[in-house]
Structure 1
Amino acid sequence: MGQIVLARIDDRLIHGQVMTAWLQFTGGNHIVIVDDATAGDEFTKSIMSMAVPNGIKLSILGIDDGAKLLADIPERHKIIVLAKEPQTYWQLIEKGVRFDEIIIGGMGARKDRKTFHKNISASEEEKETFRKIVGQNVKMKIHVIPDQGSQAIEGLL
């Protein structure tokens, strides 16, 4: 059976840090993006597929299909799960997907968000979702790139 080697919240989904640092750090060989809007946008899906190195499988799925794939990970798949928002992870957890740890990598500023920690922003709803996820014994931490330190979020909530 395969495994989840990284679960990351990043509103940019696939970008340079994911492709270089996290792929090498985790040994991931299958990126699973879980996002209903992205899964329904053929143009965005084609752009993202061009950003993935050869030999790395990419699946861009809505929440229901993402939950199905993550519930029964194929043999030898080392999966990096990417989602834009913590609510996506909460929905996956509600559908029975188990995570040991979820890292927050990139949550940028927008109207409903305030600074949460350094360059990470979160809305009150997102912070409440963090609390619910942590309440399910899932470790959550801010960890932008592998060679930098991480910060557990419990003390920030």
Structure 2
Amino acid sequence: MAEPNILLTRIDNRLIHGQVATQWNSTIGSNLILVANDEVSGNTMRQNLMKMAAPTGVQTRFFSLQKTIDVIGKASPQQKIFIVAESPQDVLKLVKGGVPIRKVNIGNMHMSEGKRQVATSVAVDDADVAAFRELQELGVELEIRRVPSTPVEDTGKLFA
């Protein structure tokens, strides 16, 4: 069975919003935005808000992490998939579950209690750093970039 056509996986604690819908999606050309998130998969109100932000003609799916792991291999080759997850821990669970993620774009990880700012739009705590380290050890390429028009930031900042 062919691997799913995953164009990009992005960590963004806002999931689908204007940056994701307009800038990222138009740059990579996906026709399916898959939100892999346990809470949102069961919250139709949040799903409906995100569907409003999604570009016209682009399908949206809201799957739990486990459902994503279970069904990603059944994706049609015509599906150009953009996975959006909320945290590095969620992406790590997907990778460990067999989702063939090769590269992760780290977008918005907002500041909150216990986190430290390491890049323009990225704040991490020790659990985030551990997940990023493990993703790297599993061969996943990491990049910090808020939007496609901005330069990639040094991922070494994650581990400083």
| TM interval, short-chain normalised | over 0.9
Residue in structure 2 matching 1:81, options 71, 83, 86: 83
Identity %: 26
Match of 1:50 in 2: 52
Match of 2:108 in 1: 106
Residue in structure 2 matching 1:68, options 61, 67, 70: 70
Q: 1:115–1:68: structure 2 CA closer, same or farther, 3 Å change rule? A: same
Alpha-carbon distance in 2 for matches of 1:30, 1:93 = 19
- The question of 1:4 aligning with 2:10 is answered no
AA paired with 1:49? K
Residue in structure 2 matching 1:97, options 90, 96, 99: 99
CA positional deviation for 1:72: 3.0
Describe the superposition over 1:69-128 as per-residue Cα deviations: whole angstroms up to 9, x where unpaired.
323321211111001101111111111111110010000011121112233101110011
Structure 2 residues without counterparts, runs of 5 or longer: none
For normalisation by structure 2, the TM-score amounts to: 0.92
For normalisation by structure 1, the TM-score amounts to: 0.94
AA paired with 1:13? L
What secondary structure sits across from 1:59 in the alignment? strand
Are the equivalent residues in 2 in contact too, given 1:8–1:102 (CA < 8 A)?
Answer: yes
Alpha-carbon distance in 1 for matches of 2:157, 2:116 = 17
Residue in structure 1 matching 2:39, options 37, 52, 66: 37
Are the equivalent residues in 2 in contact too, given 1:115–1:121 (CA < 8 A)?
Answer: yes
Match of 2:15 in 1: 13
AA paired with 2:94? L
Are the equivalent residues in 1 in contact too, given 2:119–2:153 (CA < 8 A)?
Answer: no
Provide runs of 4+ in structure 1 moved above 4 Å: none
CA positional deviation for 1:50: 1.8
Alpha-carbon distance in 1 for matches of 2:109, 2:150 = 17
Count of equivalent residues: 157
AA paired with 2:21? M
Alpha-carbon distance in 2 for matches of 1:51, 1:153 = 29
Are the equivalent residues in 2 in contact too, given 1:140–1:152 (CA < 8 A)?
Answer: no
Describe the superposition over 1:112-157 as per-residue Cα deviations: whole angstroms up to 9, x where unpaired.
2111223310111001100000000110010111111112414541
